[in-house]
A and B are shown apart, each in its own frame.
Chain A
Amino acid sequence: MNRLHIFSLLALVPYALALSAPAHSQNVLIRNARVHTMAAQGTLERADVLVRGGRVVEVGSGLAAAGATVIEANGRPLTPGLFGGITALGISEIEQESSTVDRAALVDSGTSGPGFVPRPEFDVTASFNADSAVIGVNRAEGITFAMIAPSASGTLFAGQGAVARLDGGDSPFVAASRTQFLDMGSSATDGVGFSRGAQFMLLEQATREALPGKPLQAGDMRLLTPTGREVLARYLAGGRMAFTVDRAVDIRQVLEFSARHGVKPVIVGGAQASQVASLLAGSKVPVVLEPLLALPGTFDQLGASMENAARLQRAGVPIMFTHFSAGTNQAHKARQGAGVAVAHGLPWDAALAALTSTPADVFGLSAEAGRIMPGSPADLVLWSSDPLEVTSIAEQVWIGGKAQSMRSRQTELRDRYRPTGLTGGPAVPAPRE
C-alpha cells in the first residue's frame, strides 16, 4: 500500500510568499476570500481585501491594484489576526527552566515588613523577547496579538502587562493596553494572608496608600514602595485592572472594589462568572475565560461548564478566550477552545469576535483593530478552511501588511525528520505579481 501519497492541493501561493518574501511592508491584494470582517460588512463571500502601507484600505469585490502582490484565496476564509489570550509569550521560553522565565517579580521582603512585597510597578514589557521561538510557533498558528501578562505567585499584585503585536518589531506594545494584574481567590491565598478576605484587606490598604490626599504618617507600615504607589495611583485614575478570579462571590467583591475606585476591571478565569452574568453585563465587565474548562480544578471552580461562554454571551457580557496550560507555548489552543464553545452553544460569529474584535476593544486598541475594514491594521490570517476548525491550518499570516514567515523551530524539525519518500507539503508555485 502506498501511503506516501503527495497531495495535489490547490495552489497554495502563500507558502511561496513566505519562503521568498522578506518581511517588508507590501501592497497586497487578497482576492476571492471569505472575509470575516467582524465589522459592519459582516461576512463577505468571494471578496477582495486591499492592503497598502500596512493597513487595509478597501474591502469589496473586483478590486485591482497595480504592483500589488496578489494572493488568490480561492474562497478560503480570511480573518483578522487572532488574540492569543492572557499569555507569557516572550517572557517565558520554557516554563520549567527558571533562567528562561521572566513572569514574576519576587523581591525578597527582607526580615521586616509583610511576608510579601507587592510590586504593582513591575512591568513585564521590559523583558519581552520578540525573538522567542514560542512566539514564532504561535504566530504561524494565526496569533498576531496577545496580552503579555505577569503572574503573581502569591504577591497579590502581579504587576503590569500590555498587549503586544507579534510582528517581531522593536515596539510591539500598544500603550493604551496597559493593564495591572492581580491574582485573587484560592490560587493566591498562600502568600497573601491565607484568606480571601485578607487579599481584599491588603488591596484596600495598598489602594489607600496610593490614593492622593491620604498622606501616610511617620512610622506607618507601608505595603508599597514610592514607585509602587505612583504606578498604582495611575491605575486607580480610571485604569484597567485584570483580576484572576473564579468564584462568584469574589467577582462581586472585585466589581465593588472597581466601582468604588473607578477602575475598569477585567475578569480572568471566571469559572463561576455566569452566576453573576447580569451584574457583569450591566457594567459591561469583560471576562477572559478558558472555554475548555468543564471540571472544578479548585473549589472556586465548582459549577465549571463548557457552556460558560454561551451563557455569558447570551447575557451580554463581553467575552474573550485564553488557554491555560503549563506555560503558554500553546496559546494558539484558544482557537480550538473557541470552536468547542460553538459546539456548546456559542454563536460562531461571537466565538470569532472573542478572538478578534472584543480583545481589541477591551484592551484599547484602535477602533478598526481586530476587524477587516478600511483603516484596520493589516493583521490578517488566510485559513485553509473554517478558522475555528481543528483540522484547519493558517496558510499565511500578515501583521501590518507584512507577510510573516510561516516557518518556525517546529517546521524546521518537521522537515529535518520528514519520513523518507515524502517530498513534503503542497506544490509551491511562484507568487503572482
Chain B
Amino acid sequence: MSWKQLGGATLAFFVWSVQASAEPYPSTYQAQSSAPVLIRNATVLDGTGRRLDGADVLIRDGKIVEVGTALLPGDATTIDANGRWVTPGLIDVHSHLGVYASPGVNATQDGNEMTDPVTAGVWAEHSVWPQDPGFATALAGGVTTIHILPGSGNLIGGRGVTLRNVPAATYQAMKFPGAAHGLKMACGENPKRVYGERTQAPSTRMGNVAGYRQAFADAEDYQHQWQKYEAEIAAYDRKKAKDRDPAERPVPPKRDLRLETLVAAMQGQVQVQVHCYRADEMAVMLDLAREFHFKIAAFHHGVEAYKIADRLAQEGVCGALWADWWGFKLEAYDGIWENLAYVDAPKDGCAIVHSDSDEGIQRLNQEAAKAMSRGQRAGLDIPPERAIRWITSNAAKALGLAGRVGTLEPGKMADVVVWNRDPFSVYALPDLVYIDGALAYDRNHPPATPRSDFLLGQPGAAR
C-alpha cells in the first residue's frame, strides 16, 4: 500500500505520533522591534519580476506594507534612496556557514557525518556554530535568509535548517520560525569516492542508486509498521473503557530517526535538496523520486542542468546553480556561463543562484549579474527585475517559504536591502539591510566590534 492510499485522518494522526512533540529544538527567534520606515524614491526590484522606478517602500511592524509612488510616511522614518536600488533580502539556499565555519581548522569540520552513507537522522542545525564570522560577511552582502545543509559526502546526508541571518548565541535564536527542514541528498562522485576509498558501498554510481533505493524501501517498511500501529491503537481506543485491557494496549514501534526523516520526505514535510551535477544523474533522481513518492525541491550545483532545462521546468524542480564554477572534477567539466539563463528560459523555469561558499554568499548579486549578462549575450531577454528572482523569490520557493519572504509584496516579512547603486554591478554594495523591518546592517555606521565572539580581540578586529 502506498502512502497515497491512506486516509487523511490516519495521515494526520500518524504525523502527530511520529513527531512526538510538535517541533523539537524549536525556534526561539524573535524579530527585533522596529519603528516604521519609508524608503523613498528608489529603483525597486520587488522580486516578483517587477521594476518600479522612483518608488517608495513602506515597512511597518516588521512587514512590507506597500510599494508604490509618493507614499505618505505618517509616523515612519524616511530614508532618501534617490539613486539607490531596493531589493528583497537575498536568500542563499545552499550554505555551510556554521557547519564548516571559519577558520577552517579541524575543530570546525562539522558538516559531513561521513561514518555511514545514509545519515538521514542527523540535523545540520546541531552542528551550526552561531559565531562563524561568515554570517556577518554574508549580511554585508545583503543575505537575510540562509539554508544550511549537511555536506555531500553521503548519499543522504541529513536535514538542513533555514536561519534568519541575525546575531545570536544559539542557533535556535536564528532558526526561521515555521520553516520546513531540508533533506540533503547527493549524487555522483562524492559519496562513491568517500565510501569507495574504504572499499565499502557505494563505490559506483549504481551503488549510489541502490543505496538511496534501499534506504527509502526501509522507510516504506517503517511507515507500514506505524500505519499498522495506528490502526491497532485506533481500534483499541474505539473500544469502550470497560472493554479495554491495558495489557493489550498496542505498543508503538521504536522511533528510528533515520527512517523518520525519509518518511517525512515521502510525506512532503521536508524540502528535498539534491546535490547533483550531471544531467543524466538528475534524470535518475527524478525517477527515484517518482518510485518513492517524494518531491525534489531543487537540484543543487547542477552544472549540466541546462541540458535538461525543459524537463526541470515541467517537473517543477528548481536548479540552484553557480554562475561560473566548473571543471574542478569531471562531473563539473561541462559547466557553462549560460546555465542559469538556460534553466530560467522555459515557461515555469526556476533558476536560483546559490553559493555553497563563504566567499560566494557575500556576492550573490554579482553571481546573478554574471549569469544575466551571459544569458543576454546568448539572446535571452533577462532584465534585472527578472534576474533578481534568482536570489530572492525563486530561492524562497525552493525552501517552501514563497509566501513569507523573497518579494516586497504587502504582508511579506520586511527583509529589505538598500543598495548604493544597481546591484548587478561589481561596484554595488548594500548600504542598509533590514530583517523583519529592523535595521540589521548599516555600511556607513558599522559596529565598533565584530559580531562574532571569535574575532573579538584578534588582529584586525578593531578597524
Contacts and interface: CB of A to CB of B under 8 A. Distances in A.
A257 B103 CA distance: 28
B65 interface: no
Given A7-B376, A422-B380, A327 B105 contact: no
Given A94-B330, A294-B137, A275 B459 contact: yes
Contact of B134 (A5, A7, A295, A302): A295
A343 B329 contact: no
Contacts of B324: 330, 333
Given A299-B105, A340-B426, A389-B426, A5 B381 contact: yes
A20 interface: no
A423 B380 CA distance: 10
Contacts of A198: none
Contact of B328 (A7, A94, A298, A388): A94
Contacts of A404: none
Contacts of B335: 410
Contact of A302 (B326, B378, B460): B460
Given A97-B330, A303-B460, A419-B346, A389 B362 contact: no
B427 A339 contact: yes
B370 interface: yes
B379 A4 contact: yes
A393 B105 contact: no
Interface in A297-311: 297-299, 301-305, 307
A342 B370 contact: no
B438 interface: no
Contact of A296 (B103, B334, B336, B463): B103
B336 to A, nearest CB: 5
Contacts of A390: 366, 369-370, 373, 424-426
Given A4-B381, A391-B372, A422-B379, A297 B102 contact: yes
A391 B426 CA distance: 8
Question: A272, A295, A305, A423 — which one has the most chain B CB atoms within 10 A of its CB?
Answer: A295
A422 B309 CA distance: 14
Interface in B32-80: none
A333 B333 CA distance: 17
B428 interface: yes
A46 B166 CA distance: 50
B133 interface: yes
A296 B338 CA distance: 32
A326 B336 contact: no
Interface string B317-331: 000000011111110
Contacts of A302: 103, 455, 458-460
B232 interface: no
B133 A296 contact: yes
A393 B374 CA distance: 8
A425 B378 contact: yes
Nearest to B132: A295
Interface string B322-356: 00111111100111111000100110000000000
B281 interface: no
B307 interface: yes
A329 to B, nearest CB: 4
A259 interface: no
A72 interface: no
Contacts of B463: 305, 307
Nearest to A416: B307
A84 to B, nearest CB: 14
A423 to B, nearest CB: 7
Contacts of B366: 336, 340, 390
A297 B329 contact: no
A6 interface: yes
Contacts of B460: 272, 302-305
A275 B459 CA distance: 9
Contacts of B90: none
Contact of B102 (A97, A292, A296, A419): A296
A217 interface: no
Nearest to A12: B377
B195 interface: no
B458 A327 contact: no
Contact of B380 (A3, A304, A392): A3
Given A94-B330, A419-B309, A419-B342, A339 B381 contact: no
A410 B338 CA distance: 9
A413 B342 contact: no
A143 to B, nearest CB: 13
Contacts of A407: none
Contacts of A3: 345, 380-382
Contacts of B428: 343
A2 to B, nearest CB: 8
Interface string B155-186: 00000000000000000000000000000000
Contacts of B459: 248, 272, 275, 302-303
A234 to B, nearest CB: 34
Contact of B379 (A94, A295, A424): A424
B267 to A, nearest CB: 35
Contacts of B334: 413
A94 B333 contact: yes
B425 A389 contact: yes
Interface string B105-138: 1000000000000000000000000000110010
Nearest to A385: B373
A270 B382 CA distance: 39
A24 interface: no
Nearest to B102: A295
Contacts of B96: none
Contact of B307 (A343, A388, A417): A417
A325 interface: yes
Among A137, A294, A393, max chain B CB count under 10 A is at: A294
B358 interface: yes
Given A94-B333, A299-B105, A414 B381 contact: no
| Closest 8 pairs between A and B when the two form their complex, measured CB to CB | A303-B460, A339-B426, A5-B381, A329-B327, A391-B373, A303-B459, A96-B329, A326-B328
Interface of A: 2-7, 93-97, 133-134, 137, 248, 272, 275, 292-299, 301-305, 307, 325-327, 329-330, 333, 336, 339-340, 342-343, 388-393, 410, 413-414, 417-419, 422-426
15 contacts: A3-B380, A3-B382, A93-B327, A94-B328, A94-B330, A294-B362, A295-B102, A298-B105, A302-B103, A302-B455, A325-B325, A336-B370, A390-B424, A422-B378, A424-B379
Given A294-B359, A303-B459, A425-B379, 17 more contacts: A5-B381, A93-B327, A94-B333, A95-B329, A96-B189, A295-B134, A325-B325, A327-B328, A329-B328, A330-B326, A336-B370, A388-B426, A390-B366, A390-B425, A413-B336, A418-B379, A426-B377
